[in-house]
Amino acid sequence: MTKRGVLIGCGFFARNHMEAWRRQDGVRIVGVCDTDPAKAAAFAAAYGCEAGTDAGEMLGRLRPDFVDIATTVGSHRALVELAAAHARLVICQKPFAETLEDGAAMVAACAARDVTLTVHENFRWQRPIREMKARMGLVGRPRFLRLAFRHGYDIYANQPYLAAVENLALTDVGLHLFDMARYLMGDVVRVSCEAQRRNPAVAGEDAFCALLRHASGAVSSVECSFHSTLAPDPFPQTLALLEGDAGSIEVLEGYRLRLHRGGAVEEWDAEPGCPAWGAKPWYLIQESVMAFQAHVVAVLEGRAEPAPSGADNLETLALMLAAIGSARTGKAVEL
Ligand code: NAD
Ligand code: 89Y
C-alpha cells in the first residue's frame, strides 16, 4: 500500500527530500507546508500535491503515514511534538535539537504514542561510508578512526543563516561527524575539543578538532573546517582512516577506498551515481538522501529499525554539546 507523507519546510535542502521521495517506490508526498505561502505553493506546483502554511491544520486533515520535517532547528521540537499526534513515523532533519531538554521531550512525545522517530542523518548513508562500514569485519577490532571534513566551499550562498550560528562547525557538520564516529566505533565516554573562528565574515566558530574516547577503548580524531584552502576543493566529502587490529580502511578524496591487510592493498571506486536532479558537488549528499529515504521506507514496512533513531541521536547531541563545553572550558568532558 502506498505510504502517504507530508513535508514541512520547503527551503533549500527540502528540494532534495522531494526529488528523492518522488523516486521512492510506494511513497507519495500528499502535502507540503511552509509558513511562507509562496514557498509552499511553488513546491506544491512542482511536485503535484497540496500546499499549506499551518502544519497542524494540514496534518489533521491529511492524516499521513509519515511526516518529514525539513525546517531549521528552532522549529524542530514543536513540529516533532505536533507530528507525533498525527502520523506513525516522524523524520526530523539535523540538528535534531538545540538542547538535551528539547531532544528528550521530542523522543518522549514519540515514545508516548508509539510513533517511530528518526533523524535525517544522511552522512552515514553516503556511499563511501556505507562501503567502509560493510568491510569493517575484515580489519579486526576497530582501534582508531580519523574523520576529516575540511573545505572552503561557499556554504553561505545556499544557507545564509549559517553565517550567524555561534558554534557553527560543531552544530552544522560536527553532528554528522559524531554520528558517523558513533556508528562506526560505538558509544563515546570522553571528549575534548578545540574550536576556531577562521572566517572573519561569519559570527561563529567554523572549525574544530575533537578527540573521542569510545567505550570500547578505541579513539577517534574528528576534524572539521569550513575555511580551508584546498584545490580541488573536496566539499562535501568526509575523508577517513579506520584502523583495526588486522587492517585499515581509508576513504580518500575522489571517492577512492583502500583496504590494507595482510601486506596487501586493494583500492576501488566508491563514487556515488549522480541522481537525475543532482549536481556537483552535492551529488554525494543527494545520493545519500535517496539511500536514507529507502531505509525509511523499509522502516515503514517493518523491515528495518530506524538508523539513527531519535533516542540514538540524543546521544550524538549530548556528545556535540559536550564538545562545545570542552571547547569553552579547555577541559575534557566525561559522558
Ligand atoms: P531553509 O531556511 O532554506 O528552509 C527552511 C524552511 O522551513 C523555510 O522555508 C521556512 O519558512 C520553513 N519553516 C520554518 N518553520 C516552519 C514551520 N513551523 N512550519 C512550516 N515551515 C517552517 O533551510 P535549509 O537550508 O533548507 O535547512 C533546513 C534544515 O536542513 C536545517 O536544519 C539544516 O541544517 C538541514 N540541512 C541538512 C543537510 C544534510 O545534508 N542533512 C544539508 C543542508 C541543510
Ligand atoms: O548544513 C550542512 C550539512 O548538513 O551538510 C553540508 C551543509 O549543507 C553545509 O555545511
Show the domains of the chain with their CATH numbers.
Answer: 3-120 (3.40.50.720), 124-279+307-334 (3.30.360.10)
Decide: 110 and 88 in contact? Cβ < 8 Å.
no
Residue 20 confidence (pLDDT): 98
Stretches where the chain sits below pLDDT 50 are: none
Main-chain dihedrals φ then ψ at residue 41, nearest 5 degrees:
-65, -40
From the list 169, 188, 192, 190, the residue with the least C-alpha distance to 179 is 188
Decide: 307 and 295 in contact? Cβ < 8 Å.
yes
Residues with CB under 6 A from ligand 1: 8-14, 33-36, 39, 55, 70-73, 75, 79, 93-94, 120, 122, 159, 161, 285
57: how many CB neighbours lie within 10 A of its CB?
Answer: 11
Cα 146–chain centre separation: 18
Which residue bears the cell 575555511? 227
Residue 180 confidence (pLDDT): 98
DSSP strand pairing (219-225 vs 142-150): parallel
Residues with CB under 6 A from ligand 2: 155, 159, 172-173, 176, 236
Atom of ligand 2 nearest to the CA of 235: 6
Atom of ligand 1 nearest to the CA of 172: 34
Nearest ligand to the C-alpha of residue 163? 2
Q: Which residue has a Cα nearest atom 8 of ligand 2?
A: 155
From the list 172, 152, 149, the residue with the least C-alpha distance to 239 is 149
How far apart are alpha carbons 180 and 191 in whole angstroms?
Answer: 15
For 36, the grid coordinates are 511562507
Element containing residue 73 per DSSP (H, E): none
Atom of ligand 1 nearest to the CA of 120: 41
**CA triplet 282, 125, 277: central angle to 5 degrees?**
35
140 C-alpha to ligand 1 centroid (Å): 40
Residue 174 confidence (pLDDT): 98
Residue 87 confidence (pLDDT): 98
From the list 255, 258, 225, 263, the residue with the least C-alpha distance to 242 is 258
172 C-alpha to ligand 2 centroid (Å): 6
Q: State pTM to two decimals.
A: 0.98
245 C-alpha to ligand 2 centroid (Å): 33
Which residue bears the cell 573562528? 197
